[in-house]
Amino acid sequence: MPISPAQCRAARALVEMDQAKLAEAANVSRNTVVDFEKGRRTPNTNNLLALQSALEAAGVIFVAENGAGAGVRLKK
């Protein structure tokens, strides 16, 4: 399941990570994060997976689309 820009923003907020720290953790440019979160463009598959993996490593769980929509939460 690819993450959405809104999930990325929410996930960063949950783990108190700014865009620069996420970019560093995912080994992508800060512009990649900024453009993705603003909906300007979708990163290539490898970069999108790197962003998701970096956030998951920080303790985020991505919730798939359900009746209430997609979301994020912290690991217990």
Each residue's pLDDT tens digit, 25-51: 999 999 999 999 999 999 999 999 999
Task: Report pTM.
Answer: 0.90
Q: Are 72 and 61 in contact (CB under 8 A)?
A: yes
Each residue's pLDDT tens digit, 53-75: 999 999 999 988 766 667 898 98
In a 3-state reduction of DSSP, which class is residue 10? helix
Q: What domains appear along the chain, each with residue ranges and CATH number?
A: 5-74 (1.10.260.40)
The position carrying tokens 């598959």 is: 45
**What is the C-alpha to C-alpha distance for residues 6 and 44, in angstroms, rounded to an integer?**
17
In a 3-state reduction of DSSP, which class is residue 11? helix
Establish how many alpha carbons lie within 13 A of residue 65's alpha carbon, considering only the half-sphere containing its beta carbon. 5
